[in-house]
Amino acid sequence: MKKLTYFIHDGKDNYEPLYEYTISNVGIDEFYARQLCTYFIIKGSQYELISNEMDGDDEILVLEDRGRNNSVLDEKSYRGLGIHVEFRRCKESENYKLLTAVPCRTHLDVIRYLLKDIIDVPGFGQMAVTSTEVDEDRGVYVLYVKTIGENDMG
């Protein structure tokens, strides 16, 4: 792997490059962590992963634009503070309430969370993951969760 490139698909078979990382700038563990996220937030916009592809030594993530990313009251920036994972409620009606955030030593620690359907949320116990994102604007990974068996609509 040499580079990871995000492309935006416009729905008409056109693909525009959005952002690129090289292996010399980020580690391979971060390459993998990013590929496991359902959503990508950058420059105030939200993108949804629709395809994860391999092209020789290159990793390609194809995204669809979901419009402006709506900020919530308890968001904070983790830039310069190391690697962090936030756990938030999946319900818009609850303003995607922050449950807790944990620091991670490496992206391998993040990958452990991203691979799971059920996770232990510190202080809340086991919860079901509904989606994952990397928020480039705030420098944090976010896992949206619900109580096991709970409907995630709303």
Q: Is residue 138 part of a domain?
A: yes
Domain around 19:
3-68
pLDDT in tens, 104-127: 999 999 999 999 999 999 999 999
The type of residue at 151 is N
Q: How far is CA 98 from the centre of its chain?
A: 15
Q: Is 66 helix (H, G, I), strand (E, B) or coil?
A: strand
Q: Is residue 105 part of a domain?
A: yes
Tokens representing 66 are: 């979901």
**What is the model's pTM?**
0.92
Q: How far is CA 35 from the centre of its chain?
A: 9
Q: Is residue 24 part of a domain?
A: yes
Q: Is residue 49 part of a domain?
A: yes
How far is Cα 123 from Cα 35, in angstroms, rounded to an integer? Answer: 28
Number of domains in the chain: 2
Residue 30's pLDDT band (boundaries 50, 70, 90)? Answer: very high
Claim to verify: residue 62 and residue 103 sit in the same structural domain: no
How far is Cα 73 from Cα 96, in angstroms, rounded to an integer? Answer: 9
How far is Cα 137 from Cα 144, in angstroms, rounded to an integer? Answer: 17
pLDDT for 154 equals 53
